[in-house]
Structure 1
Amino acid sequence: MSTALTGAPLHVPAPRPAPAPTATAPTAGPAPAPSDRLLHPDPSVAAEQAALEALLRCWARETGAAPGPDGYLRIAVLGGAARLSAPVRHWSPAGWHRFGPATLAAGEGTADAPVDAVTTAALLAAAAADRPDPGQVADLAARVADSVVRTADILAHHRAATAPLPGGPERSEFLAAEQSLLLGHPMHPTPKSRDGLGPAQSAAYSPELHGSFQLHWYAVDRDLLAAGSAVPESADRITARLLDDPALLPPGTAALPLHPWQARELAHRPAVAELLAEGRLHDLGPAGDPWYPTSSVRTVYRPGTPWMLKLSLGLRITNSRRENLRKELHRGLEMHRLLESGLADEWRAAHPGFDIVRDPAWIGVDHPGLGDPGGLDTVLRAQPFAPGERAYCVAGLVAERPHGARGADPVPSRLGDLLRALAARTGRPLPTVTAEWFLRYLDAVVLPVLWLDGVAGIALEAHQQNSLVLLDAAGWPEGGRYRDNQGYYYRLGAADRLTARLPGLGARSDTFLDDPVIDHHFAYYLGINHVLGLVGALGSQQLADEAVLLAALRRFLTGPAVTATGSALPGLLLDAPTLPCKANLLTRIQGLDELVGPVATQSVYVDIPNPVAGA
């Protein structure tokens, strides 16, 4: 098992091969019970179950743990003095397992007692390390508790919602999908942890609660202004228009939009407080029409506006504080210029349905006391989606939506509803429609990303939340988009041809990486998180047999269009016995911030069995 670690050594069992899926169903153990606790009428019970299942999925993936012949996953905890057990409702070759309630027994012959997610988190954190750090164990348990409470609030909100959703007549499918991640990342131990947000703030700032808020505005003296733009209009002219009332700006200043939570926190930072006291920064307060948070929380959207804003936000969300780094701001401009150098035309000629959501401008403050990140930098993102366009965040499309009891039915998702409607309309079996939809998706969304890697030498950190799929009127995939100025990797092996397109590329963005490092991360983000995550979602929601989808994936990967891209990822997925996988639980136990330090060591990685090679 390979890891990239700092701190206390982890004690993690070597991975064992995943149980092979049967020809008829990839489910281990007894048939699913008629009652699924994710659909429990009490949102708190459903939230507890969601957190517990995420923790157990993480443990199974990151340690190689597998269920016994009786269909139970068992984990030795407390140095072997106790056993944590959970029945397996669905064992997924792609990793999206489903579990029943967990119990804890102290030794053989002892009766099992129910155990909650917070206790489970503390037990697993202690079991993963030879010398557990009490602070990290407590931090994980606290953040799991925070995530559970927020998930319960989200489920209660959605189950009780009867009023029209916000956004007015221009509310788009795009915004609806951004608000659909009710449970969060299925392979993360604290998917909804947002420590630092009180209940009222959470209601306003959370996409899943249909929050909205006015931006908080600063005016910055022009001698402190830092900005960049790769489009004809300067960043400060764009923000002046977004302010709605330019008369609020004092002479000789530029408008700087901030997240309201960030604005309150910044006022307590010594360098910012000093600039405010000196009158070089001017606090204009909240202004303008409301904006809507998207799935990342810090990126905001306003219907009818040609720009979105990726705001700095010092909250710890999942594993990181979300403040913009200068190299990321330069990366967004670079990528726009690189695409406009002729690369986008070549890409569109091969794949007309795919593009990158551009981040072609940014604005912030330069001052030696601020550091990097300084907390005052904002990305200006082009907003390409029309109100009627069916653009969906992939993570939101596949996300489970446990709105309440449905008997023995599977937990629904937006994608599940869409596929069932397609099957009903066409009169074809649901698994057949799902397999065809999956193959069309691979052509529309995955193939263009492989082309950019193999032909251009640019790999995208294309996990599901960074990826959007465009659907036609019937619901079939017809295109896609990628977003995120953090997630571009330029291959050193392609440096000559990339810098020939745009001289000076990478000088300020720190984006060139060794090819093996890129191969390692690309395999996880596109291969495991994105594609296998889609396979796992379709299987766990009983929309198709994962073995059939994995066979379809192999067919796609061996096709001439994929081979022609020259990307190394298809060969890795087809033949490698193991794949490098980000270990979110072990990363959290180590207390790592994934935005800090070299890319190669920001997270813990483990090698997991490759279900594609074994399909």
Structure 2
Amino acid sequence: MTPVASENAAVTAVAGETEAVTAVEAEAVAASVNAPAVTTAPVAGPASQLLTRVLSALLREDVVGLRTRGTLVHHPDGPWLRLPAVDGDDALLLPVTEDGFQHAYAARLPLLVRESDGTHLTTSDTVLAALRALAEPVDRDGFDAFAEECGQTLATMQLHEATGQEVADGLTELYGPDLADWTGLRGGLAYETLAARLDHPVYPTARGRSGLDESQLRGYAPEFHPNFALHWLALPRESVTVAGELPDGWPTPSGLGLADLDRTHVALPVHPLTVGEPLDAALREAGLADRAVLADRVYLDVVPTLSMRTVAPAAAPSLHLKLPLATATLGLRNKRSIKPGTLVDGAAGQRLLAAVIEREPRFKGRVLHADETVYAHAGHELLAVLCRRYPADLDDCVVVPMAALLAEAPGGGLVVDHLADRFHGGDPIALLDAVLTPLFDWQTTLFGYGIALESHQQNVSLVFGPEPGDLRLLLKDNDGPRINRTRLAATLGEGEGEGEGEGEGEGGGTWGFDDARTFGPDDRAVADVFTTITLHLCAGAYAFGLARHGRAPLPELLSLVRDRLAEAVDRLGGDAAAVLRERVLNAPELPVKAMVTAGTLLSKERSGAADINKHYTTGPNYLLLEGGSA
């Protein structure tokens, strides 16, 4: 029998890289096992959709050896993956199909089958229980946690399905029936609501938020587009670090009903979901429980953005306030708090990008950045705020987060279809082409400086207009980059440490970054972030997504992605271009995020993940047009 992957080399392509199972081998396997008695299964409902995505992710990340120990076998209905029995446990069968995006194969049906008796496992709980039994004892709590995460996500998906028309009607009433009229940063909030109802391209349980019930989701989650007021906490001035000038209209303690505290305290906003035990615990940990005062008066009506912890004042949406939450998304260890160092790093990243644009003037006015230099914190991850300012001249433009492009629009169709009708003659592929050109130009230019940004779908917005044909990129969240200190030093010189951070740049300066993981000695980490963020999430996901929705054949869309990336690499030239050709364009396999493993299933000690958002496995290179998955 031919293994799906050896212990040392994962499957790297849909075809060509994996040796085929012979007919004789398939017959032998079929004769020795209970052939599954199903050829079809429902995949339309939320439970089936979720389980299919979960199984695909577990296969991709080689959970309990699904990739490295699994064997392909063929039955009349299609290919199956057989995970052999170990130490008396039952062998398991998983129906698979060729995929090619993040792994050569994906789950074809939402089920596992026990080989011995043909029992069908068709729920997340039963599937994870079966896989849990195969895991090391030290890892089994992670399977329990992931089962809980799946349950929360399923409840959220069912809630989304039940409220879809209600929310669509509400957005239409607020913003109008024509998506082209959803203009400015206010209209962008409506697009973020649509994006929040769409699954993440990679993480299977992204719609779940740990610990939140239906009333909390309806009251504070972006997919319901609620409006609510912020709480405010008066903290002793000496305990609060403030960078920059807080926005006009920032409330004083007296304005919040705490008149006797104006001279001694400063007010910070608190998300309603943080008020209570999370806030009380944070104040105790910070040593501020006896000196902080929570105002009785709420102030400032806000609307949540796609990230949920970031909110926009309803009357001034060009200001976004990023507030810590005591919940987690994209893995139970991926907490929505705000460590003070990330605020420092966001400002440092902005300074670095400004230095690049000063050297690359063609990006001035084409690549826009939110200002992230104003923030405040009291030394604790639940006592902080980032005051993000957007450019002020976008009222006549349509501002759409990339994450919304494949979302369903009110009245039908995809968001990308409506935008294509308005700006690209009804051709969504022409719109994708128009996006890829500046996106790859900007990101490959940064690579030439040794920089790769965490500018995924949520952090990149498309700015259409005001003139026909105008398209600009708008970026936010500049913390968390990866930088080749040697290449940066050679292009921009030695950066000096600024702000609070003392991160060591060793030969490339610190540029004020706090997180020492930011800098590395070579291009390895930079290329990984470029591939997993810019290529996979901002390009490949749309090629596969538009093909799935029937907008164009997949080979045509993948050729477009490769051509635009190759053009950008050719413009870049030099050693950096050679690295991108070797590690991305022509690599036999590409890095892929292993988010379930690092975020929930395994502890950092067990996974070895220095950063749960930058922990990788491998997958096929869909850019290889000959002899590869494309």
Alignment of 1:57 with 2:56, yes or no, is yes
Once the two structures are superposed, the pairs formed by residues 311-326 of structure 1 within 5 Å of their partners are 311-319=323-331, 320-326=334-340
* Residue from 534, 539, 551 that aligns with 2:542: 534
Alpha-carbon distance between aligned partners in 2 of 1:572 and 1:104, rounded to the nearest angstrom = 35
**Which consecutive residues of structure 1, in runs of 5 or more, have no partner in the other structure?**
1-10, 22-32, 39-45, 367-372, 407-411, 427-432
Distance in 1 of aligned mates of 2:493 and 2:157: 46
Structure 2 Cα separation of the partners of residues 599 and 351 of structure 1:
35
Q: Give the secondary structure class of the aligned counterpart of 1:261.
A: coil
How far apart, CA to CA, are the structure 2 residues paired with 1:570 and 1:346? 24
In structure 2, give the amino acid aligned to 1:174: G
1:204-223 matches, cutoff 5 A: 204-223=219-238
Residues 588, 524 of structure 1: CA spacing in aligned structure 2 closer, same or farther, 3 A cutoff? same
Paired residues of 2:12 and 2:618 also in contact (CA < 8 A): no
CA RMSD of aligned residues (A): 3.9
CA distance 1:145–1:598, change in 2 (3 Å)? closer
User: How do 1:219-368 residues align onto structure 2 when only pairs under 5 Å count?
Assistant: 219-229=234-244, 234-235=245-246, 238=248, 240=250, 245=255, 248=258, 250-252=261-263, 253-269=265-281, 271-272=283-284, 278=290, 280-285=291-296, 287-305=298-316, 306-319=318-331, 320-340=334-354, 342-350=355-363, 352-366=365-379
- Give 1:155's match in structure 2, choosing from 137, 154, 161: 161
Question: Is the contact between residue 589 and residue 619 of structure 2 (CA under 8 Å) also seen in structure 1?
Answer: yes
CA contact (8 A) 2:104 2:619 kept: no
Shift of 1:207: 0.6
Contact 1:96 1:540 in 2 (8 A): no
* Residues 453-511 of structure 1: CA deviation (Å, up to 9, x unaligned): 21x33221122222222234799671212221333233211343545565654445233
SS in 1 for 2:335: strand
Partner of 2:29: none
Q: Which amino acid aligns with 1:15?
A: A
**Residues 416 and 428 in structure 2, CA contact (< 8 A), matched pair in contact too:** no
3-state SS of paired residue (2:233): strand
For each residue in 1:539-577, what CA deviation from the matched residue of structure 2 results, as whole angstroms up to 9, or x when unmatched?
Answer: 222222221122222222332664326453354221110
Following the alignment from structure 1 to structure 2, what is the Cα–Cα distance between the partners of residues 418 and 96? 32
1:470 is aligned to 463
Q: Whole-Å Cα distance in 2 between the matches of residues 447 and 239 of structure 1?
A: 39
How far off is 1:349 after superposition?
Answer: 2.2
Q: What residue is the counterpart of 1:556 in the other structure? A: 564
Q: Which runs of 5+ in 2 are unaligned?
A: 1-5, 17-38, 176-183, 499-509
CA drift at 1:447: 1.7
Q: Distance in 2 between matches of 1:560 and 1:139?
A: 43
Aligned AA for 1:106?
A: R
How far does the alpha carbon of each residue in 1:34-79 deviate from its partner, in whole angstroms, 9 at most, with x for none? 99844xxxxxxx2212312321331343345789584445453775
* Aligned length in residues: 556
Note the 1:185-196 alignment, pairs <5 A.
Answer: 185-196=200-211
When residues 508 and 480 of structure 1 are mapped into structure 2, their CA distance, relative to the original with a 3 A threshold, is closer
TM-score, reference length from structure 2: 0.77
| 2:92 corresponds to | 83
Partners of 1:364 and 1:167 lie apart in 2 by 38
- What are the residue-to-residue correspondences of 1:453-468 with 2, within 5 Å? 453-454=447-448, 456-468=449-461
Q: TM-score, normalised by structure 1?
A: 0.79
* Separation of aligned partners in 1, 2:256 and 2:378: 19
Deviation, 1:524, is: 1.6
Check whether the contact 1:491–1:514 (CA below 8 A) recurs between aligned residues: yes
For 1:443 and 1:539, the matched residues in 2 are separated by: 20
8 Å CA contact 2:10–2:618 kept in 1: the answer is yes
Equivalent residue runs for 1:407-422 within 5 Å: 413-419=414-420
5, 8, 18: which one aligns with 2:13: 18
Q: Deviations over 1:418-453 (max 9, x none)?
A: 447778x55xxxxxx444333221112232122122
Alpha-carbon separation, structure 1, partners of 2:554 and 2:230:
44
Corresponding residue of 1:29: none
After superposition, residues 126-205 of structure 1 pair within 5 angstroms as: 126-127=133-134, 129-131=135-137, 133-161=139-167, 163-165=169-171, 172-180=186-194, 181-205=196-220
Residue 575 to residue 358, structure 1, CA distance change in 2 (3 Å): same
Matched-pair contact (CA < 8 Å) for 1:82–1:106: yes
